[in-house]
Structure 1
Amino acid sequence: MSRSRKKHLAAALTACFGALAYTVSKVDLARRGELGMPGFPAPAEAYAAVADVETAQLANAALGLLMAVVALLLVRLPRTPLILWPALVVSWAGIAMVGAGVLGFGARAAGLAPSLGATPPHMPTALAALLVGAVWVTAWTIATVSATRSSRRRYAAGTNR
């Protein structure tokens, strides 16, 4: 296995594990009836806007599972365009969403965005969540760039049939 293939595989699997960590955290928050992210509790007024906290968090967990499956697809994307292109589009959209979340929660943790909520009451948990998010989005980006390049090469060579 080539060095670039190993890097691609490691990145895709790391992205999958990042999505699974998000999923587990959302299931745990649903179990406890809490909104927010680990280390970043939602403000009290957020609860008024959510009819069923458990269902909302379980829906987020389902989204996490979808992101894990998409990241796993990047290990070896099927050659059919009906799977290949949607997987790449969903990956890029997921990278943008997770990246925006990491930046927003990072700004909140640093006290740079008080409109996003108070600084976390338990900073070690918040920093751990930010680290997981940053590793996740970085790995997902590496895997998606690699998958995009390899699919372009296959199409250019006419071997994607």
Structure 2
Amino acid sequence: MTLDMCGGLFRRKLLRPARPMPAGLFVRLAACVAVAEMLVYAAQKVYMAVRGETGMPGHPAPAAVQAQFAPAGLAQAGNAALGVLAALVALASVTRWGARIPRWALCCALALALVMLSLGAVATIGRTDFAWDRLGRGGVLGCVREGAQFGAWLVVTVSYGLRTRPHRDRPATGAGR
């Protein structure tokens, strides 16, 4: 195989658009939930950047962590930008303009976002005190939001992977012979 043939194979296989099947109503709703949650996350990070603190509203990071991020506003602005980027990735999985992105790139971005959101959900659920006398509305609401966000991203990621997989011709079975 010559170098020119390898280059052509690379262009055909890896850089080809996904051309997914249209997403159903349930998948579009899950994508809307994922986009909305990521935009809320970005807004929260912008709020914390304006305040010059790290963490989330209502849960600022401890002083030792605050000291690690000397320009806290810059770190939080970067996190807000990642939230907006993740919202665009979720939106690209169900829109027509997202079909121009190579399948492998969007699958990797969706999988990475799903892993990062699962880590965030574990952190949120881990810091929630589930004792009946201290269980507040905020803790329960945070756990429900994280669970809904993780579920929405799981639906979006799995749906995109299934809708865009290449169709392979199945060999004829021997039943008719």
- Shorter-normalised TM range: 0.7 to 0.9
Determine if the alignment matches structure 1 residue 39 to structure 2 residue 39.
Answer: no
Match runs of 1:79-98 below 5 Å: 79-80=99-100, 82-98=101-117
Answer whether contact 1:27 1:58 (CA < 8 A) is retained.
yes
Distance 2:154 2:146 in 1: 12
Match of 2:86 in 1: 67
The 10-residue stretch of structure 1 (4-13 or 20-29) with the greater mean CA deviation from structure 2: 4-13
Higher helix share: 1
The superposition leaves residues 130-155 of structure 1 with CA deviations (integer Å, 9 ceiling, x where unpaired) of 43222112101101111110111xx1
Aligned-CA RMSD value: 2.3
Q: Structure 1 residues 33, 63: closer, same or farther in 2, change over 3 A?
A: same
Structure 2: segments with no counterpart, 5+ residues: 1-22, 170-177
Is the partner of 2:33 in helix, strand or coil?
helix
Cα deviation for residue 96 of structure 1 reads: 0.8
Distance 1:59 1:110 in 2: 29
Instruction: From 122, 140, 148, give the equivalent of 1:135.
Output: 148
Match of 2:33 in 1: 14
Match of 1:117 in 2: none
Cα deviation for residue 109 of structure 1 reads: 1.6
Amino acid at match of 1:156: H
Amino acid at match of 1:47: Q
Highest relative contact order (Cα 8 Å, sep 6+), 1 or 2?
Answer: 1
Distance 1:79 1:28 in 2: 33
Answer whether contact 1:15 1:68 (CA < 8 A) is retained.
yes
Distance 1:94 1:157 in 2: 28
Q: Structure 1 residues 72, 79: closer, same or farther in 2, change over 3 A?
A: closer
How many percent identity over aligned positions?
Answer: 31
Is the partner of 2:24 in helix, strand or coil?
helix
Q: Structure 1 residues 123, 19: closer, same or farther in 2, change over 3 A?
A: same
Determine if the alignment matches structure 1 residue 149 to structure 2 residue 162.
Answer: yes
TM-score (norm 2): 0.72
Counting matched residue pairs gives 143
Structure 1: segments with no counterpart, 5+ residues: 112-120
Answer whether contact 1:38 1:129 (CA < 8 A) is retained.
no
Instruction: Look at both structures and tell me which one has the larger radius of gyration over its CA atoms.
Output: 2
Cα deviation for residue 79 of structure 1 reads: 4.1
Match of 1:118 in 2: none
